[in-house]
Amino acid sequence: MKRVLVTGGAGFIGSHLCERLLNEGNEVFCMDNLETGSIRNIETFKENPLFHFIQQDVIEPIELRVDEIFNFACPASPPRYQKDPVHTLKTSVLGALNLLELATNTGAKIMQASTSEVYGDPAISPQPETYWGNVNPIGPRSCYDEGKRCAETLFFDYGRQFGTKIKVIRIFNTYGPRMDPEDGRVVSNFIAQALKNEPLTVYGDGSQTRSFCYIDDLIEGIMSMMQTDESFSGPVNLGNPEEVTVLEVAKLVLELTCSKSEIEFRPLPQDDPKRRKPDITLARQTLGWEPTVKLKEGLITTIQYFRECLRF
Ligand code: NAD
Ligand code: UDP
């Protein structure tokens, strides 16, 4: 049994991670400031004696004796991370610093939830880990993109300078049950709008692409990466290479919900990446990992969750 800290553990991905770690018999410390997460996400295992919830912001120093740390604290939806950009940057940079200090002092292994956003609006597709990216340092998305890039730098510098046991994963768009229906991301917006028979808001002409990974597949990849030996730190892309346009997602959601909603086109937000598709060769080779859940299949489960949440 390991003592494991999951920051952002009351969020979408973090809560699935807590659940998986508990199912494997670990003692789990979930640290969250509840900025975008919710107690409802951790309700089912709150009574488990091996689960501990600590309401704390990761920008404050942390003292805890643990064997492993998963640093997942950070709002992930563009409207949410842009609401208080300075705090978003602090979360990525000071959060990484505090947790790397903790890992270095305790000898714990530490994983950083990085993102495909480090590639910015990519000039090449698919994106391999060797691509350095195309990121605007001063735009509305920069607090997130540059914060995550700086966190990666801190991770690799701690690894080189202090021998900290680091793992870095770059997560591509992930969806599934426990997403907040109001967080403003494309999958949550489209499903919630379709269930309420409200217009689906497609930004731009909907020709921009994303590659959507179902949460269960991502959790498998995260667990495999944490178990790799010390010679492999990453970064490694974790995502589903099945690339779709945003308009295709809208149409698929309409079909699967049997909704009467129309599609409404809205202006494209500034710096919205035009393409995103992971090259997962490295994950296949080093982790033997690849996603297995098709978008249609994953959306059916997610729609079911939203129906229960929104009572539709
Ligand atoms: P989420 O918003 O559902 O979860 C983030 C959690 O972190 C929330 O519970 C929130 O309350 C908590 N949090 C935020 N700032 C905090 C702070 N300063 N201190 C303590 N807790 C804080 O988002 P998610 O989709 O579950 O994303 C989890 C992680 O994965 C994030 O680091 C995100 O950047 C990364 N990621 C997610 C995706 C995706 O598609 N979901 C893609 C790439 C990377
Ligand atoms: N998007 C959209 N309608 C919405 C929300 C998002 O068309 O209601 C688009 C957005 O402009 C982007 C894509 O969907 O091109 C994915 O957006 P999301 O916010 O989910 O994540 P991102 O990958 O941009 O961080």
Q: Give me ligand 2 centre to Cα 177, in Å.
A: 18
User: In order of start, what are the domains of the chain with their CATH numbers?
Assistant: 3-175+214-241+277-292 (3.40.50.720)
Tell me if 173 CB under 6 Å of ligand 1. yes
pLDDT at 311 (0 to 100): 77
* pTM of full prediction above 0.90: yes
C-alpha to C-alpha distance for 266 and 40, rounded to whole angstroms: 32
Of 185, 212, 275, the one to substitute when testing ligand 2's pocket (max ligand atoms within 8 A of C-beta) is 185
C-alpha to C-alpha distance for 178 and 170, rounded to whole angstroms: 21
pLDDT at 310 (0 to 100): 84
pLDDT at 41 (0 to 100): 96
User: Mind telling me the catalytic residues?
Assistant: 144
C-alpha to C-alpha distance for 48 and 106, rounded to whole angstroms: 25
- Which tens digits make up the pLDDT trace of 121-150? 999 999 999 999 999 999 999 999 999 999
CB-defined site of ligand 2, < 6 Å: 77-78, 173, 185-186, 189, 201-203, 208, 210, 246, 269, 272
- Kindly list the distances between the CA atom of residue 165 and the CA atoms of 94, 105, 110, 112, in Å, as whole numbers in the listed order: 19, 11, 6, 11
Of 5, 6, 12, 276, the one to substitute when testing ligand 1's pocket (max ligand atoms within 8 A of C-beta) is 12
Q: Give me ligand 2 centre to Cα 273, in Å.
A: 9
Average pLDDT over residues 239-254: 98
Contacts of 75 (CB under 8 A, 6+ apart): 35, 36, 81, 83, 88, 91
C-alpha to C-alpha distance for 97 and 105, rounded to whole angstroms: 12
What is the residue with the minimal CA distance to atom 11 of ligand 2?
A: 203
- Which tens digits make up the pLDDT trace of 282-310? 999 999 999 999 999 999 999 999 999 88
Q: Are 182 and 306 in contact (CB under 8 A)?
A: no
Bridge partners (DSSP) listed for residue 201: 264
Q: Give me ligand 1 centre to Cα 9, in Å.
A: 8
pLDDT at 50 (0 to 100): 98
